[in-house]
Each structure stands twice: as C-alpha cells, then as structure tokens.
Structure 1
Amino acid sequence: MRADDSDPVLARAARSLKDQPMDASWIDISDSIISRIRATTRRSWPIDAEYPTAAVETERKTDTLRISDHVVRSTLRRALAGVHGAEPTTIDLYLDDHTCTGAYIDIVGVYGDDLQAVGDELAAIVLNTLADVLGPVRPLTRTDIDVHVHDIDDAGTTAG
C-alpha cells in the first residue's frame, strides 16, 4: 500500500501537484538557493595544536591534536569583540599546511581612538588567544599579526 492510497487528502494533493505545470522560475530560484548554500557552507581546515604533558618523565613532551579553523576563528572573534569598541569584520589565518603562521584581522574602529594603539592591543589579544588555543606549535610574534582598520565608526553604529 502506498502512503497516498491510505490518505485521500494526500492523494488529492499529489495528483494536484502532478497536474500543475512546472513554473520556469522555480529552476532559477532553486539554482540560486543551492549556489547560496554552497557559498555559505565550507569545509574546515585542521590546524595543528600541542600542549605540554603532565608527566615530564615520558618521552613525549607534548600532546598534539588538530583544531578546526572555524573553532580558532570563532575564539578569536569572541576575544576581539568590543575591545575599544572595535569589531572584527574579517579574521583570516595564515597557514603553512596545518601550522598557523599568523593572522589577518580586519576591524571597524571607533572614530577618535588611537588606531595604532588599538591595533597593537588587538594584535596582542590575537597572539595570546592563538597561544592559548594552539599551544606552542609555532611561537608567533607581533610581526605575524596583520591588523587592518577597514572603516571607522563614529557613533557606535556599524560603519558601511
């Protein structure tokens, strides 16, 4: 027994849909939806992390694992959000295969702030956050972090 045979309402709805002509715009709409979904979703890239082990007497001095680039970016975004009113708009990681070698941060700054000082503070936060999340896989320095002020917000609203 088919599902539409047991329910006359479903059977009538199925017949009605079969009898309707195909709307040509549906193909365009569905293609648009699929392309937006594909553009929105993306695979994550594993980034090497390492942490000192508790037992010093073992041969292995660190535990290693890989952390998704999505996790690293979200952690950075949370750490940077609202510092001096600046908001990160882009967070990119510089990678050498699976090793993080630095970061690029695009921010909206606040009008009147010393943007050089804010950039330096944000870079320090990025360095500390990456060290916390990834451990000492590759120690990073201030020169590994690029902070770019994309725009300036003058009244607490997002600048365009």
Structure 2
Amino acid sequence: MTESDPFLHRAASYLRTAPEPGWDAISAKVRAAVHAASLPGWPIRASRDLGHGVVYISDHALRSLLARELRRKFVCQPTRIAFTLEGNVLRAIDIDVTGSYGTQLRELGDDIRRTVIDTVRLILDDLDDDGRTPSGPIDVTISDVVDGDPLG
C-alpha cells in the first residue's frame, strides 16, 4: 500500500468541507427532487413462473404507461390511477379523469376502460394462478370537465 500524498489529502479535506458556490440557494430544490424521484413502489407481477422466473413491473411504471396511453389516445387528463393489489397480483384499477366539454363522457369512460384492459393485457399475463384476469374491475370516474384540451 502506498502512502497518500499529504497535499492531496489536505486538498480533499478542504473540498469536502467547502460548499459548492450557489449550493445554499438551490439545496432545498435539489433535495426535494431527489426525494421525489426515489419514491418506493410496489411490484406487480407481470408474468407467471413457467420455470424461467417471474417478471415484475413497478406500480409507478404501470401507472405512467397507462397515463401516457390515455393522453395519447383521448382528449383527457388522468388525474389519479390507483391499483388494488392482492400480494403482488393486480386485482382492480381505479382511474379519475378530467375530460373536455362536449365529449360524450359515457363513451369516453368506456373507451378508457377498453384501452386500459388492452394495455394491461399486453404487459401482464392474461390469467393468474387462480384463473382470474389480473386487471379485475376497472372503474373510470370523470371527475372534472374543462373547456378545450385538459392538457393545455
């Protein structure tokens, strides 16, 4: 083992104690962003074990995929997507949506439900070990209606 250079040791000690210029002004925002990015998630089983292991998707990833697909296909803004899990098996999905004035809301809800079913079936196995569909009931609530595009 080699001896450390005393100059490098002093420089490293100083750099550890000296704050980055401007850090005081942004530290609260940076720390909040780090904490928000590291939210713990729940694993949702995406495949059955057929001898090759089990694949999981996080609830955050599935929620993001569903929200993106709904915004892409419809003039709406998903405001809440909640999952009911039994262990790590998806049993139900509850979605709140802001729609656009003039939209046929019943049809929008039905279209959203079909899109969610199709999307979930692409990601998760169609049947769980008990033979039930993992998506279970999908409840869609139009919680608000706005003029124009809810995203804009």
In the aligned structure 2, how far is the partner of 1:99 from the partner of 1:122?
21
Where in structure 2 are the equivalents of 1:1-160 lying within 5 Å?
Answer: 1=5, 2-3=7-8, 34=31, 37-50=34-47, 64-135=54-125, 136-137=127-128, 138-139=132-133, 140-141=135-136, 144-158=137-151
1:84 Cα deviation after fit: 3.2
Q: Secondary structure at the match of 2:119?
A: helix
Identical-pair percentage: 28
TM-score (structure 1 length as normaliser): 0.65
1:96 Cα deviation after fit: 1.1
Structure with the largest fraction of helix: 1
In the aligned structure 2, how far is the partner of 1:35 from the partner of 1:52?
38
In the aligned structure 2, how far is the partner of 1:110 from the partner of 1:32?
34
Task: Give the partner amino acid of 1:96.
Answer: E
Gaps of 5+ in 1: 19-25, 54-59
Q: Secondary structure at the match of 2:65?
A: helix
Change (3 A) 1:36 1:71: closer
Gaps of 5+ in 2: 19-23
1:34 Cα deviation after fit: 3.9
Cα RMSD, aligned residues only: 3.5
**Higher gyration radius (CA):** 1
TM-score (structure 2 length as normaliser): 0.68
Asked if 2 retains the 8 angstrom alpha-carbon contact of 1:48 and 1:100, the reply is yes
- The number of residue pairs the alignment matches comes to 136
In the aligned structure 2, how far is the partner of 1:94 from the partner of 1:145?
10
Partner of 2:21: none
What are the superposed Cα offsets for residues 28-57 of structure 1, whole Å, 9 maximum, x if unpaired? Answer: x8577645643453122111122697xxxx
